[in-house]
Structure 1
Amino acid sequence: MRSLKSTAAVIAAAAAIALGCGLGTAAASPAPAAHTAAAPRATVGVCSSTAASNHTVHGALPQAEVHRRLSSLTAQHRADYGLPAKGPLGTAAGRAARQPLVDIHPSQGTAFKSMSGADGSCATQSVSTQLNADSTTTIYTPTMYPPGGSCVELVTVYTTSGRSVSAWDWCKSVSFAASVPIDSSFLSTYTNGSGAYTGRVVQTDAASNTWAASLYNYSTGQWDTLFTQSGTNQSGRTDGWDIEELYSTVASSGQAYSCGDMAGLTFESSNISVRNNDAWSPASSANADTHYDTPSSDFYCPDRNYQMVSAYDHWKTVG
């Protein structure tokens, strides 16, 4: 989640504080370390599919449990701390003893341009069941937010409280509002054995600015809904992103704790597409660039390898 005030690479991070409950419609209801390649390029055709299941995502958590697991920052606390973005979810335990040099918030990947008629985005994004986030680290990778003033961001989340694909509400609560754990059931239903899920966020009603985040169910060939929200976007943004993003701290060694957490794992987003006036097209120089990129050095991870495989519909990071 990019800051509302700045897209700077390094910001002061706050310790985790309580999350306010959100509004909107949310679902209730052993794997590879990370995929080595995202799902086949043919999957991009899924983005334009109108096959909706009219069901919620299988395994989605009740909203109270979402708040318990992803207790981050209320809108009021974000303002108090000057961190309007979703912020770090790690606990404060151990931070004083470690004496970190700096708190970091870097990002790299595809940035969607602000364009008239923009009303959605879609991508095939990696997941891992073996990543264990350090208590000072929160990883949002990949995280996708469509251009057009969306109410919803679709985030792959790794924290000390677990791993999930979650929806961030930008219009009402400005908090995590829906979540499904990344487990064996999720992998069998939503990754088709590829180690990557296909998700999209689209505007379903322009008059009320209603947006829906959905995951493609490979078992049924239909889209399952994770979260729906409407209203006025509180970020003030009309551009968007599909990026690697994280919050972490740097140890006295000069290396970020996130570096160790992500070592040897591949994080990837492919088949990145943008919808404009209901028409889908691959992310390209016509609708995207890299204006949210920070320098690779801002990750404080010397062995990390990032590449834009195909501008701008496919990027990959190896930790």
Structure 2
Amino acid sequence: MASLFRSSPLRTAAAAVVTCALAAAGAVLAPAAQASPATSPATSPIASAARAERPSTPRADAPMGAPVAGRVLGEAGIRPQDRPGVQRFRELRDGLVAPDRPSVGAAGRTAPEGADLAELAHRWWGTELGPNGNTGFDGVTATHTLDASLRLSSADDFLYAPTTKARANSCIELVTVHTQASAQVWAWDWCNADPAQQVGATVDIDSAFLQKYGSTVNGRSAYTVRIQLTDAGANAWTASLYNVTTSTWDPFFTSQGTDQTTLAYGWDMFEYYSDQTASGSVGVCQDLSGRVVETTGLKVHDPVTGAWTDAGPANSTVFPDATMNPSDYFCPGIAGRMAAPYSAWQVSVR
């Protein structure tokens, strides 16, 4: 989940928002077909439910449907085996007050299983929405890849990718979450002042989820999200998922109040928290080998005209840097590009 500060490691100084050979914006990505049969999303029996070549063509103004089936509101949705990691994440986020942390230290460092989360590498890359406090839009929608078969090798690691938060003062971050135990969609409640209650809702990415919300984009399983301001006076926001069987936006989570991140921007990005292995690479790098994480169709909503337009130079940028340096991400095979600045991006690991 992304909590990124321009003057802190949640976002490297003067560079980024953060919640995972990076080439320049036009670089060619490593093919996604290199994943092993045991873990490839193309061969996963769960993921196959979403791979019936159903292109995602949601109408941004489609009607509202029924609440997402299977969602669990609040902390009850966190699996017991994930709870220690969630707590460690909170500790790390709360401790990010200095511009430098051990996590950005020597590339040769290794840490044992269960190490203090302050020693984990925290990295992100993607689209920064509404930089410099640009709040001229009141909603965001995007199609995100998902991988029902992906499980991380370490209990300490978190992959939040893709993850999106609309802009400054928005309440909800909607995240595709992968841990050692599960693949889920989470809503983080950034308007809840109690840090112990900031997981607002969760739902498993399983066959039932994919049947309703799964689509296929660029040959990869995906789903479409929307986060929109629904009551400006109360600063109330609603996160919804696009139901491909009913052509409706199914509510997932709502929140209102004051954004506790204090960040002057939103994001749609790739993000991870991961420890280094004996090789010097982060565990997430090895777990993502042969895979692609992708956002397409990133759009923002103009409250005056009612129009949805592609994220672009007028309302967004790339961050924390235009390109990803593999050494900075502790991942020699990682690569990323803006396929359509700034409405479509890809991160791959060969």
- The two structures have a TM-score, normalised by structure 1, of 0.80
The equivalent residue for 1:232 is 258
* 2:121 is the counterpart of 1:104: yes
Structure 1 pair 59/193, CA: closer, same or farther in 2 (3 Å)?
A: farther
5+ long unaligned stretches in structure 1: 10-29, 89-93
CA contact (8 A) 2:235 2:258 kept: yes
SS in 2 for 1:189: helix
* 2:92 is the counterpart of 1:73: no
- CA distance in 2 between counterparts of 1:245 and 1:157 reads 10
The one-letter amino acid paired with 1:158 is: H
Structure 1 pair 39/125, CA: closer, same or farther in 2 (3 Å)?
A: farther
Aligned residues: 285
CA contact (8 A) 2:312 2:341 kept: yes
CA contact (8 A) 1:31 1:128 kept: no
Percent of residue pairs identical: 32
Structure 1 pair 62/32, CA: closer, same or farther in 2 (3 Å)?
A: same
Structure 1 pair 98/145, CA: closer, same or farther in 2 (3 Å)?
A: closer
- CA distance in 2 between counterparts of 1:75 and 1:162 reads 16
Structure 1 pair 97/167, CA: closer, same or farther in 2 (3 Å)?
A: closer
- Cα offset for 1:288? 0.8
TM-align CA RMSD: 3.1
- CA distance in 1 between counterparts of 2:310 and 2:161 reads 20
* 2:61 is the counterpart of 1:56: no
The equivalent residue for 2:34 is none
* 2:237 is the counterpart of 1:188: no
The equivalent residue for 1:46 is 59
1:94-152 CA distance string (max 9 Å, x none): 9536989x621111111112324321111000000121112232100000010141100
Structure 1 pair 118/184, CA: closer, same or farther in 2 (3 Å)?
A: same
The equivalent residue for 2:189 is 169
- Cα offset for 1:290? 1.1
- Cα offset for 1:193? 4.8
Structure 1 pair 231/222, CA: closer, same or farther in 2 (3 Å)?
A: same
Structure 1 pair 64/140, CA: closer, same or farther in 2 (3 Å)?
A: closer
- Cα offset for 1:83? 7.2
- CA distance in 1 between counterparts of 2:76 and 2:181 reads 11
Of 291, 309, 317, the match for 2:339: 309
- CA distance in 1 between counterparts of 2:115 and 2:242 reads 43
- Cα offset for 1:46? 2.0
- CA distance in 2 between counterparts of 1:257 and 1:8 reads 21
- CA distance in 2 between counterparts of 1:74 and 1:259 reads 20
SS in 2 for 1:284: coil
5+ long unaligned stretches in structure 2: 14-44, 104-109
The equivalent residue for 2:164 is 144
CA contact (8 A) 2:165 2:268 kept: yes
- CA distance in 2 between counterparts of 1:177 and 1:109 reads 24
CA contact (8 A) 2:235 2:257 kept: yes
Segment of structure 1 superposing worse, 185-194 or 236-245: 185-194
- CA distance in 1 between counterparts of 2:209 and 2:69 reads 8
- CA distance in 2 between counterparts of 1:128 and 1:109 reads 19
The one-letter amino acid paired with 1:81 is: G
Of 8, 16, 21, the match for 2:12: 8
CA contact (8 A) 1:157 1:165 kept: yes
CA contact (8 A) 1:139 1:245 kept: yes
SS in 2 for 1:118: coil
